[in-house]
Amino acid sequence: MAPTHVLRCCQRGLAWIPVIFIALVVCWSYYAYVVELCIFTIPSFAEQILYLVFFHISFIMFVWSYWMTIFSKPSNPSKEFCLPKVEKERYEKEERPETQQEILWRAAANLPLYTRTGAGAIRYCDRCQVIKPDRCHHCSACDMCVLKMDHHCPWVNNCVGFSNYKFFILFLAYSLVYCLFIAATVLQYFIKFWTNELPDTRAKFHVLFLFFVAAMFCISILSLFSYHLWLVGKNRSTIEAFRAPVFRTGSDKNGFSLGFRKNIAEVFGDQKKYWPLPVFTSQGDGLTFSSRLVNTVDAEQATVNMQPEPSKSTGDVQGLASPLGETENCLLPNDQHSNNTDHLANDTLKSAESETITISMESES
């Protein structure tokens, strides 16, 4: 027990190494830009003030969003998704998967669940012992189920999900702005140092290295930021992009897409004035999500449940399922032509009923 606890503590400590690395790079970039570039290299006082104002705006927004992404606790399923004590004991004692699924189906009868496993079963986490809400997944690094989990990011040492996905997007956006601003303003002095137009000083190393680091991070962040903007527009998580969610009617990668504007509002909220700020404005509670398939599926299930038995009356023939209706439509003209082409509309309906019985007799033989 003790070695396992020590190992987990070591793993948690090592997980902060990427965050510490980013923090050190940011602190050095602040010193290199403010002190070595603006104070010791740029001769114009007006240019110094202009650069410092815009630099500090991007720096504050970048650090703010990065902080919120790191220290926003991932949201977990509520108590209503936990099995009752009696059902939980029965589930743990039961060895047959079929009976375990029956227990889960009864427990999930009143829960707002529309997604299933690949086999059509209830999504249940044995580790956390909860029924997984839609778009919820278990993070092995955080050792918990996370609502609307996107991925676990080592650079923030946190799981990116419902509680901090907006902060993560803003972190990518402001880090890209931060790096672009540094690269654009440092470029002219990078060229001057490179061509020996400026004398070799201590600032030369910082300016040259600052441009390379900013350009390198720009390229890597731009690709990641573009990808997540595409995911926001499609209303998908990274997990759903690689494995489409499974609904009652089957898997559908666009099952949660509500249109471009509504997809953006689900992450950033309705009030656009709060979009640039790293404050939580995402819609919903992370437990239930609107889906374009929900109403369709419910309507289909209602139709199936209320559908009467076929071949009892004229209304039964009209209410047959679509596959039989298509067969009926294909065979009806041939039967009418072979029996009597001069029948009236009422006689045609009767011949359709007799044809349905004939088809059933032939298929049984």
Spatial distance between the Cα atoms of 125 and 138, rounded to a whole number of angstroms: 7
Contact (Cβ atoms closer than 8 angstroms) between residue 224 and residue 94: no
Which residues make beta-bridge pairs with 247? 115, 250
Contact (Cβ atoms closer than 8 angstroms) between residue 52 and residue 34: yes
Which residues make beta-bridge pairs with 116? 246
Spatial distance between the Cα atoms of 15 and 155, rounded to a whole number of angstroms: 9
Structure tokens at 200: 């070799």
Q: What's the pLDDT score for residue 293?
A: 65
Structure tokens at 212: 């390379």
Residues (pLDDT < 70) of the chain are 1-2, 293-365
- List the one residue out of 95, 120, 123, 128 whose CA is nearest residue 107: 123
Is residue 214 exposed (0-12), middle (13-18) or buried (19+ Cβ within 10 Å)?
Answer: buried
Contact (Cβ atoms closer than 8 angstroms) between residue 148 and residue 77: no
Spatial distance between the Cα atoms of 207 and 181, rounded to a whole number of angstroms: 14
pTM of the model: 0.79
- Neighbouring residues of 358: CB distance < 8 A, sequence distance ≥ 6: none
Spatial distance between the Cα atoms of 329 and 343, rounded to a whole number of angstroms: 17
Q: What is the largest CA-CA distance in the chain?
A: 105
Contact (Cβ atoms closer than 8 angstroms) between residue 185 and residue 49: no
Spatial distance between the Cα atoms of 101 and 117, rounded to a whole number of angstroms: 12
Q: Is 153 a catalytic residue?
A: yes
Q: What's the pLDDT score for residue 9?
A: 85
Average pLDDT over all residues of the chain = 82
Spatial distance between the Cα atoms of 66 and 73, rounded to a whole number of angstroms: 13
Outline where the chain has alpha helix (H): 2-14, 17-31, 45-71, 85-93, 97-107, 165-194, 202-234, 238-242, 260-268, 294-306, 314-318, 322-339, 345-364
Distances in whole angstroms, Cα of residue 346 to Cα of each of 98, 312, 323, 354: 50, 17, 24, 13
**List 153, 159, 179, 218, catalytic entry:** 153
The per-residue pLDDT for range 180-199, each reduced to its tens digit, is 999 999 999 999 998 888 88
Q: What's the pLDDT score for residue 294?
A: 59
- List the one residue out of 232, 241, 176, 187 whose CA is nearest residue 210: 187
Contact (Cβ atoms closer than 8 angstroms) between residue 87 and residue 107: yes
- Neighbouring residues of 152: CB distance < 8 A, sequence distance ≥ 6: 139, 140, 141, 142, 158, 159, 160
- Neighbouring residues of 306: CB distance < 8 A, sequence distance ≥ 6: none
Q: What's the pLDDT score for residue 352?
A: 38
Spatial distance between the Cα atoms of 346 and 107, rounded to a whole number of angstroms: 51
The per-residue pLDDT for range 306-331, each reduced to its tens digit, is 333 333 333 333 333 333 333 333 33
Q: What's the pLDDT score for residue 349?
A: 35
263-269's contacts with Cβ under 8 Å and 24+ in sequence apart are: 263/232, 263/233, 263/234, 263/235, 264/232, 264/233, 266/235, 266/290, 267/165, 267/166, 267/169, 267/232, 268/166
Is residue 361 exposed (0-12), middle (13-18) or buried (19+ Cβ within 10 Å)?
Answer: exposed
